[in-house]
Amino acid sequence: MTERNILHIRDLDISLGTGDKILNGVDLAIAPGKILGVIGESGAGKSMIGSAIADTLPVGLAISRGSIEFDGLTLTDMTAKTRRDLLGRDIGFIPQEPMTALNPTLTIGQQVGRHLARIGIGSARKREQRAIELFTEVGLNRPGELLKNYTHQLSGGMLQRVLIAMAFASNPRLVIADEPTTALDVTVQLKVIDLIAKMREAHNTSVLFITHDLQLAAEVCDDVAVLYAGQIVERGEARSIINEPRHPYSRCLNLATPNLAGPKTRLMILPKAMPSPLERTAMAGCKFTPRCPIAGDLCIGTPPPLSEISAGHRSACHWPERTETITPPPLKADDENTVLGADLVMKATGLGKAYRQHDWLGRVRRVEALRGLDFEVREREFVGIVGESGSGKSTLTKLIVGLEDITAGVLDVVGMDRATTPRERFFDRVQLVFQDPQSALNPRRRIGSLVTQSLECRGSGLSASARKQLAKDLLAKVMLPPDMIDRFPDQLSGGQKQRVNIARALCSNPRLLIADEIVSGLDVSVQAQILELLRELRKQASFSLLLISHDLAVVRHICDRTLVMYRGEIVEQGPVEDIFTNPQHAYTKKLVAAARGNSGLYADATEQEAENEAF
């Protein structure tokens, strides 16, 4: 029975020096040629599984119990040298960020050559031949030329293909893919997934696919294991876990993910956060109890075993049958009928932005980042902007907030011409919520001071106690406890920081709020909290929102209208439902198809064309 498995992880514990467990009793097995997905939010310990196999655990962590068997060999008993020989040859890796995984000072050919030499191809000519073969196999055009290129000359999708080619070069029996698509654009993601699936079939390789994305896992994996707080809570066939989860956590994750099809619902909000390793040690029963909507007394004291509930489907819950009773909070009556104001908050006519680039000889080249944008945003309207990296989304934000100058057309913001009106008049009316709360909150200020920062430079006439009260009110608006005002940003979780970030932008009662990818770095459950918060705020406050996102489902969930941007132009705009159910422009069709996970809708030819333009 066990002989059949390529990888068998038995009862694996990974602990900190203090004895607190990062992973607790993880049991996984992959049969030859299968893809096993490991799903979990940040902090669940999913990357630790890959690190444990590769022997690259961070300092301070060690395997304290259990074993990892690879093809009948026990990895955990091997000497470092034999284990290293196995890695890269019998076990391949596909990293999360292709841009940082390759050395920018060497050509692609040199790096692939080194890897091929390591797996035992002696002569340089054979190595080149093999590299060209591999590149053709992963669908890269002009492989011969590619070998002479440096990493910065290739797009992220192409680099990921190079890395996939390298991972499969030695016909490994196992490939570990740690979030291989997270850093890529939506339309590229799917191709990479398809490619991994195709390579898996061609080489009969098993794949350990680590991801936070439920939909992605559903598409690519045969089996799935859901990881929560270092333990596997549910394991089984991918489709059945995604569609009919038998563990409350899987079910909640599912309900917290905004979807592209079906009726609009409110998202499931999981209270509190995942317990830290320290807190887990103190918990006797099921680690999910404090957040579980169906937890009972039994859950607090007794940990549920990972027991089989139907053939091949295991769930660590005392009441797996109750899982279906979990439903998202119902839509409130006033949810859908927000009244839009009559006034325009923003109006762009023929808006454009061109940069002048100098090369080393001083020759000037004009690069048009934005061309002829026409759109408007009404009062209290939520508008989404979708498009992939390089489409000009961020340049547009910079124009609106005045960080860049307009070079063509007219941009009217809150009734004033952006180009001619002095900057000061916009300060209170337009606010930006930054993407990365880590970078947007000064780590040396306390939360209270951060939230009311915009009052600081103008004589607000508020006393210290009034400011404190205002800070507390703002925190209450974003559902944070008032005692948080004396803390530093470092002491907050990612989701909490993002809420402080939003509260801070609301301080001056802006009429237009611009949110630049504010949920993209967050976990599913935290994303749900922020999205529901925005919908809630919409009812009380009177501001318009411009939400920039690469995630169509997020835009659909909270926006009224959407603009689709492609290469500096708006290719399509209209009500969210219309755009997503009946896209007109070829690019929108592709985008919607990619988000739906339907790769058959577009031909492979267009994809190659788009990628090769990176040269």
Q: Which residues bind other proteins (CB under 8 A)?
A: 276, 278, 401-403, 423-424, 427, 431-432, 434-436, 439-444, 453-454, 456-458, 486-488, 490-491, 504, 508
Smallest gap from Cβ 547 to other proteins, in A, equals 17
CA atoms of 185 and 203, how far apart (whole Å):
27
* Count of CA atoms in the C-beta half-sphere (13 A) of 258: 23
Is 453 or 608 the residue whose CB approaches other proteins more closely? 453
Is 443 or 575 the residue whose CB approaches other proteins more closely? 443
Smallest gap from Cβ 467 to other proteins, in A, equals 15
Is 79 or 439 the residue whose CB approaches other proteins more closely? 439
Smallest gap from Cβ 485 to other proteins, in A, equals 11
CA atoms of 415 and 144, how far apart (whole Å):
56
Smallest gap from Cβ 232 to other proteins, in A, equals 24
* Count of CA atoms in the C-beta half-sphere (13 A) of 465: 0
Torsion (CA) 111, 112, 117, 118 in degrees, nearest 10: 80
Smallest gap from Cβ 429 to other proteins, in A, equals 11
Is 168 or 434 the residue whose CB approaches other proteins more closely? 434
Is 100 or 442 the residue whose CB approaches other proteins more closely? 442
Residue type for position 44:
A
CA atoms of 273 and 44, how far apart (whole Å):
11
Is 89 or 487 the residue whose CB approaches other proteins more closely? 487
Is 65 or 487 the residue whose CB approaches other proteins more closely? 487
Is 349 or 491 the residue whose CB approaches other proteins more closely? 491
- Which helix H or strand E contains 200, and what residues bound it? helix 186-203
Question: 390, 386, 385: which is closest to 595 by C-alpha?
Answer: 386
Smallest gap from Cβ 357 to other proteins, in A, equals 15
CA atoms of 520 and 550, how far apart (whole Å):
8
Residue type for position 93:
F
Smallest gap from Cβ 486 to other proteins, in A, equals 6
Range 105-112, long-range pairs (CB < 8 A, 24+ positions): 105/150, 106/150, 107/147, 107/148, 107/149, 107/150, 108/146, 108/147, 108/148, 108/149, 108/150, 108/151, 108/154, 108/162, 109/146, 109/147, 109/148, 111/166, 112/147, 112/162, 112/165, 112/166, 112/169
Smallest gap from Cβ 475 to other proteins, in A, equals 16
Sequence-distant (6+) residues with CB within 8 A of 251 are: 245, 323, 324, 326
